Chain A
């Protein structure tokens, strides 16, 4: 408890700024509703109902939060070591497809063998797909930002080709809908809340988050990653194998993204379709960046993000307020958080000036 208070005090100004940004964004959202002729109270009530109204929608919200949390964490892991992985979307696609095909091919085998193999393949394929730009970066100094963006397109279009009409992995029984064969039922994660998207993936996600936290905070590897990310010249000077560390961080990031792809399929989608992810990784990146790559912050922000995202859908369905409202609210939060540094500085200076005048 003591630790928690000190952690809170350390980040007090940041948390205050975050809280104020969220409130401001919600107020501005309310004003927008008024302008467009809706009652903001009814709007937000619909949002809350759409998120907490029953166990099914709440399960969906948690499932959404999970995805954001893991993708955000993937971003945080590589950025710790000074790498910027924009390619999570592609890694997610390929990891998801690999895990699906492993599941489909191993039909009839015991889940105790098949599911771990699916995990392994998702992580390996996602990790490998991140390894390529990482090696280009450390060996040839090619910007990983550019290569990962380009590799996203390669992965997504490859998966689209493979799982749509004419593609070799297309199932026979779905016609124009596309997608692969279904993962056999025994392999699927069990549902935690009936008819919702929430599955036991939440347990695996918690385990991944714990491992990330543990490695970052408690191991020599985490320390070396931190130093490399903050000052790679200092890392080199100190005798750290900075190239190895950077590649490893990138691969870990890719592996997590691959697992996210798997969780989407094994959690509720059951087959791989090219609609597996609607830019989930970019949302996760956003969350991670807003929260300054702070793992605890990412969890909190993911929840809020999921609430607004799912809630906006409910608002549109029940009252007719446009779903784009959630995008606007997020844009405002990001805008205010980006200005956080400046605002905090301004407030501190004003405080100092007042103190001096006393």
Chain B
């Protein structure tokens, strides 16, 4: 148990202009669950990429099972027993589970022919051995995200991994699936003597699953602690470098008139299939309506339709009382709506443009920023950008930085700063803090509540249930494009709501089944 299986010795990683890892030394013991936490850009992924052989450190050494790593490549790491499950799965959707598991080490007949039967057999054995239930003959595209993750884990196990790196494994899972994953981790650690390294920034998960935890900040290792000796608050302040105050966002005021209204709305997805099936909702001034749903249940399409980014197939919707079907995003904005899109990279910013340009767009024709709507007033634009840069606490080398060079958190702050500064009476917000670190998350949450308290009508969707619970006055659950439940804040807990998110309205029964399976 005390034997060290991975050892980092003064590891440094210098990227052009960024010192991603700065003299990091610690070891990971055989048979433990080690959590690596830190804000975005703290260097935890870089460090794990070094262990997995993707990056070669510019200083220091890594030892795996007492042997110094000489050659950094994933195939060498795999042969040393290191396996990694990335945040974005590396599976072929049209292949079966078994085909994906044996990929790159396929069983062969007579040395050349792919032996499909043997692949199924291998999968069956692996499933039995590790107790990770999954159907080897199903195609990956058909199975849920939680199961796909199991396939990824089985894939690394098949290649002989006994050190498993999981990069943000719960980001895409429901609370139930997360609990199941944790069961799996506990089992493989206990029964198979595996070592698991889990990268995360959800601190309650650290507390729930890990034996020890390492905290990173700005490329340096701040400390390694026994999990039982710390709590979430201590970890948060280690990560951010100051006290993080989470729960004191005060909500004031009472809801006013209806500002956003959808009436029996149907919206198709990119493949032309109906993703939103008859959704009706109302959002009033001074309230946050949260949408709780597992990804792919129509929430993205719903919000895109309400902002004009996607056509409505049937039904009507109203922004500020005005019927808005068929309007462009520009026309809907004019009615008084601002929008934080789900995917900031593809929709929310222009990566090649500067922070200033990204902040001013949409306002460029206002008289404060241009003469006769044509000639840009460069100096007042610069001043305005500086102001927002300060106010929204962006970090970086100034407003002339290209947005593509910013971290996820800072990029999101640019989007939030721009959209919030339109001062609209309605806001539609999707995934406001996806991939954003704790410090920025705290900040963005405060801004959202401030908007709410000012009387803004806010429709919010997030894959992070904590966020939905924290910010919303009312919550609706969506499943396969239909509303399956509506609750007032405080009426229901996270476990309870997840049954509605999976389409099971009965609540309690699902809980018992889930519990039984876990035992």
Contact = CB atoms under 8 A, between A and B. Distances in A.
A220 B351 contact: no
B298 interface: no
B14 A356 contact: yes
Contacts of B352: 230-231
A107 interface: no
A356 B370 contact: no
A224 B364 CA distance: 9
A239 B353 contact: no
B488 to A, nearest CB: 32
A222 B364 CA distance: 11
Grouping DSSP codes into helix (H, G, I), strand (E, B) and loop, the B interface class, with mixed when no group exceeds half, is mixed
A240 B349 contact: no
B15 to A, nearest CB: 6
Contact of B364 (A220, A236, A241, A353): A220
Nearest to A217: B376
B67 interface: no
A38 to B, nearest CB: 43
A238 B328 CA distance: 10
B376 A223 contact: yes
Given A224-B364, A237-B341, A357-B58, A219 B351 contact: no
A11 to B, nearest CB: 14
A355 B376 contact: no
A23 interface: no
A148 B348 CA distance: 32
A183 to B, nearest CB: 35
A218 interface: yes
Given A234-B347, A356-B58, A349 B375 contact: no
A297 to B, nearest CB: 17
B507 interface: no
Contact of A238 (B12, B334, B362, B374): B362
A143 interface: no
Interface residues of A, number: 28
Contact of B350 (A219, A227, A351): A227
Nearest to B366: A220
B413 interface: no
Interface string B341-373: 100001111111100010011101100001001
Contacts of A219: 370, 374-376
A268 B422 CA distance: 55
Contacts of B13: 356
A55 interface: no
Contacts of B361: 223-224, 227, 238, 240
A224 B351 CA distance: 14
A129 B388 CA distance: 44
8 contacts: A223-B361, A226-B353, A227-B357, A227-B361, A234-B348, A236-B329, A237-B309, A239-B362
Q: Which 7 A-B pairs have the closest CB atoms?
A: A239-B330, A356-B58, A356-B14, A348-B16, A230-B350, A231-B350, A220-B364
Interface of A: 218-224, 226-227, 230-231, 233-241, 348-349, 351-353, 355-357
Given A220-B365, A236-B309, A356-B14, 15 more contacts: A220-B375, A223-B357, A231-B349, A231-B350, A231-B351, A234-B346, A237-B348, A239-B329, A239-B331, A239-B333, A352-B16, A352-B58, A356-B58, A356-B59, A357-B59
